Copies of this chain bind each other. A is one copy, B any other.
Amino acid sequence: MLQLKGIIPPMITPLKNSDRLDREGLANLIEHMIRGGVHGIFILGTNGEAPSLSRSLKKELVRTAGKQIKQRVPFLVGISDTSLSVSLDMADNAKENGADAVVVTPPYYYPLDQKEVYEYYAALASKLPLPFFIYNIPSHTKIHLSIETVRKIKDLGALGIKDSSGDLFYFYALMDALKEAPDFSFITGTELFLPETVMNGGHGAVAGGANVFPQLFVSLYEASVKKDLDSISILRKNMLDLYNSLYRVGKHPSRITAGIKCALSVMGICDDYMAPPLQKLTGDERSQVELIIKNITLNPGAGS
């Protein structure tokens, strides 16, 4: 059984425009991340702009990425949607293209109670052709999965949870509550909490920054596994530098994703087009990113 651990970047989706993949950029990006030592790749999540893309484009992405990854690392595909039948169709497509597992949030339009959410997962799980991960991201779905609901969804066969609540108190409580399930993966979606997660029973991070600096996050993961506090302290400082520079450019709520895409473009890896409603960085903002990337490259610590 697949047990996820380590650094799994939530891959941004390289786009030429709203209807066209940047296929060359996609290949570059996948190679960049694998070369950086990542332990898996997760496409079509929040960073991947999945909700903004048409289904045909998403399927093309799954197919192309699957061919590029070629089973070298676990391949996870987001199938979250507001429609169960659309999610199932995306899951079938993921399976056909070599995905190891799918990742799924609760449906995100209607306000739902925990019972409805559980039953949604139950209906889904009974028809999925692949194992699945739970994805908790209340800032986007409006629904915070209770510990009891996660436990029940785990019993439906979930392999683990990616928690992007940003609420470490909840995540600790969740790990404590489900500690009797040794094969269940606890993956934080808040990269800043990677050491806390790994040193307290969790398994890794879906780290957006690992699109750009995979080695930094892989090193931090390894230091966390070894409980090497000195290395953690240094690498953590490098990570905080990202929060104080790259992640702070731009003025929209999605500026972290935009900064990551812009950095990849500056580094020549892929295009930085963003599909509506999100917007890429331009003008002065791009110039700031250029400067940031240049300085980080001169200072090999951060990119190492």
Residues of chain B contacted by A109 (CB below 8 angstroms): 46, 51-52, 108, 140-141
Are the CB atoms of A112 and B253 closer together than 8 Å? yes
Q: Which residue of B lies closest to A52 (CB)?
A: B83
Q: List, sorted by A's number, 13 A–B pairs whose CB atoms are closer than 8 Å.
A: A18-B84, A46-B110, A51-B82, A53-B83, A84-B277, A110-B277, A111-B140, A113-B252, A117-B277, A168-B196, A169-B190, A173-B243, A229-B229
- Shortest A126–chain B CB gap in Å is 11
Complex CA distance for A244 and B192, rounded to whole angstroms: 26
Are the CB atoms of A111 and B139 closer together than 8 Å? yes
Complex CA distance for A2 and B227, rounded to whole angstroms: 33
How many copies of this chain sit in the oligomeric assembly? 4
Are the CB atoms of A113 and B253 closer together than 8 Å? yes
Residues of chain B contacted by A178 (CB below 8 angstroms): none
Q: Does A276 contact B (CB under 8 A)?
A: yes
**Interface residues of A, Cβ cutoff 8 Å to B:** 18-19, 46, 51-55, 82-86, 89, 106-113, 115-117, 119-120, 123, 139-142, 166-169, 172-173, 176, 190, 192-193, 196, 199-200, 227, 229, 236, 240, 243-244, 251-254, 275-279
Complex CA distance for A253 and B240, rounded to whole angstroms: 34
Are the CB atoms of A252 and B115 closer together than 8 Å? yes
Known: A110-B253, A112-B277, A176-B240. 10 other contacts (CB 8 A): A51-B107, A52-B107, A53-B85, A83-B275, A108-B108, A108-B109, A109-B141, A116-B253, A172-B240, A199-B229
- Shortest A167–chain B CB gap in Å is 7
Residues of chain B contacted by A199 (CB below 8 angstroms): 229
Are the CB atoms of B85 and A18 closer together than 8 Å? yes
Residues of chain B contacted by A46 (CB below 8 angstroms): 109-110
Complex CA distance for A117 and B53, rounded to whole angstroms: 17
Q: Which of B51, B84, B252 makes the CB contact (< 8 A) with A276? A: B84
